[in-house]
Amino acid sequence: MSSLSYVQFVAGATGGWAIDSLRTVVGEPLPAASRLAVVESAGTSGIDVVWRLAGVVSSERYVTAAERDELRARQPLLGRSDADRAALIPIRKNDAWWSLAQDERRAIFQKRSGHVTTGLRALPAVARRLHHCRDLGEPFDFLTWFEYAQADAGVFEELVQTLRQTEEWAYVDREIDIRLSRS
Amino acid sequence: MSSLSYVQFVAGATGGWAIDSLRTVVGEPLPAASRLAVVESAGTSGIDVVWRLAGVVSSERYVTAAERDELRARQPLLGRSDADRAALIPIRKNDAWWSLAQDERRAIFQKRSGHVTTGLRALPAVARRLHHCRDLGEPFDFLTWFEYAQADAGVFEELVQTLRQTEEWAYVDREIDIRLSRS
C-alpha cells in the first residue's frame, strides 16, 4: 500500500483551483462548479460538493522500462510555482477496449497511437499525474491531472488534440475536459 | 462497469464452503474461521464475520491475445457439480514488484516463471477466477479462487507448488493458502 495514494478531486464552492471551463468531449456530462479541491487522502467532509471523483496513483500498466526511465528523466513534479494552469481530464474507455488482451492494448497505446511519444513531446513543460479508478467502481476509468504555465498552454493544447485523434481514443466513450487556474 | 464484478469472500460461521485448512505461507496470518461465503455483490451485513476480503474481476494485465484464447478454450467455468473442492489464495506482492515497468513484470511473469504455461497444465481440471484488489486499498493485491474435483487435487497441488518456486513468487510478501470443501 505504501506506493499507492488515494486522491480525490472535489468540485464545489471551495478549493485551491478555480474552474475556468468544463467541457464534455464525449458521453454524459458532469455538472458545472466554480472551484476544485485536490485532496490527497480518503476522508473529506465537504459542504456544497457538486461532484467528487477519486482514483489511485498505481503501478504502470503499459510503459516499458526504457520509456519509464525517459519519462522520469524529463517529467517535472507537480506544484511548480510558475505552473498556475491545470487540467483535469476524466476518461472512460469502452468494453471493447477492456476486453482486449494486454499485448493488443499495448500495441494500440504506443505502436499505433504513439501515446508515450506524444507525451514526451510535452515535457518538461507539462507535469502530469495519472489516477486509476476503474477497479474502484468509479464512473470513469482514469483521471489525469496536468499542470503547466500559461506560456506553455499551446504545448498542452497540442498534447490533448494529438491524443484525441489517435486510434486509442476511438475507445474513449466518456471524456470531460476541465481547465483550471490556481487562485 | 458492465464487465467488472465485485466479489467478497466472507469468513465466519456461515457460508456455502467449509474451511478445511488455513495456512500462512508467508507474511502476516489471517484468523481461523469455520466457513466461507462467496458473495458476488458489494453489500452484505454479516454477523459473526471473522474477516472479509474483496476484489474485482477486472481486465487482463499480462496475458497476450494468443494466451488468452488458449486459456479460454480450455478453462472450465466455476460451479461444476463435481468440483466440490476449492482454494482461496490471497497474495500480496512487494514494492519491488510494483515499481517494475510493465515489460519487466511481463518478462518475469511468463518468460522466466512460465505462469501461463503452468496454469495451462492444470486445465481443464482446475477452474480459476482472479480478483484484483490492489487499487481498492485491500490488504492483499490478488485473491485467486480455484475449484476442482477431489480426484484432481494432485493437479492443483502441483500447480501451486510449481508457481511458488518461480522467480515471480520471490516478490510475494504475503500469502495465505485456504482450502475448502462444498457442504
pLDDT class of A172 with cuts at 50, 70, 90: very high
Residue with cell 490492489: B134
B48 Ramachandran zone, left/alpha/beta (phi>0; psi -120 to 50):
left
- Per-domain boundaries in chain B: 57-182
Residue range A76-100, pLDDT digits in tens: 999 999 999 999 999 999 999 999 9
Whole-number pLDDT of residue B1: 38
Quick check: A94 contacting B, CB < 8 Å? no
The reported pTM is: 0.92
Give the number of other Cβ atoms within 10 Å of residue B72's Cβ.
8
Kindly determine whether residue A134 and residue B6, on different chains, have CB atoms separated by under 8 Å: no
DSSP state letters, B117-183? HHHHHTTTT-EEEEEE-GGGT-S-SEEEEEEE-GGGHHHHHHHHHHHHTSTGGGGEEEEEEEEEEE-
Q: Yes or no: say if B182 and B16 are a contact pair by the CB < 8 Å rule.
A: yes
pLDDT class of A1 with cuts at 50, 70, 90: very low
User: How many helices and strands (H and E) does chain A possess?
Assistant: 5, 8
Amino acid identity for residue B70 in this structure: E
How far from B82 is each of A80, B86, B122, B182, CA to CA, in Å?
Answer: 62, 11, 16, 10
Whole-number pLDDT of residue B3: 47
Sites in chain B below the pLDDT cut of 70:
1-4, 45
φ, ψ for residue A155, nearest 5 deg: -65, -45
Does pLDDT of A183 surpass 80?
yes
CA atoms within 13 A on the CB side of B26: 13
Q: Name residue B172's beta-bridge partners.
A: B93
Please report residues of A whose CB lies closer than 8 A to that of B99: 3, 59
ipTM of the assembly?
Answer: 0.88
Please report residues of A whose CB lies closer than 8 A to that of B60: 101-102
Residue range B94-133, pLDDT digits in tens: 999 999 999 999 999 999 999 999 999 999 999 999 999 9
Residue range A16-71, pLDDT digits in tens: 999 999 999 999 999 999 999 999 988 776 778 999 999 999 998 999 999 999 99
Quick check: A106 contacting B, CB < 8 Å? yes
Whole-number pLDDT of residue B20: 98
Residue range A122-152, pLDDT digits in tens: 999 999 999 999 999 999 999 999 999 999 9
* β-pair type (A85-93, A172-182): antiparallel
Kindly determine whether residue A137 and residue B56, on different chains, have CB atoms separated by under 8 Å: yes
Whole-number pLDDT of residue B4: 60
- Cα separation, A4 vs A44, in Å, equals 18
Q: Is B90 helix (H, G, I), strand (E, B) or coil?
A: strand
CATH class for the domain made up of A5-182: alpha beta
Please report residues of A whose CB lies closer than 8 A to that of B63: 101-102
Whole-number pLDDT of residue B48: 86
φ, ψ for residue B23, nearest 5 deg: -120, 130
Decide yes or no: CATH 3.30.1050.10 for domain B57-182.
no
Kindly determine whether residue A134 and residue B64, on different chains, have CB atoms separated by under 8 Å: no
pLDDT class of A4 with cuts at 50, 70, 90: low
Does pLDDT of A107 surpass 70?
yes
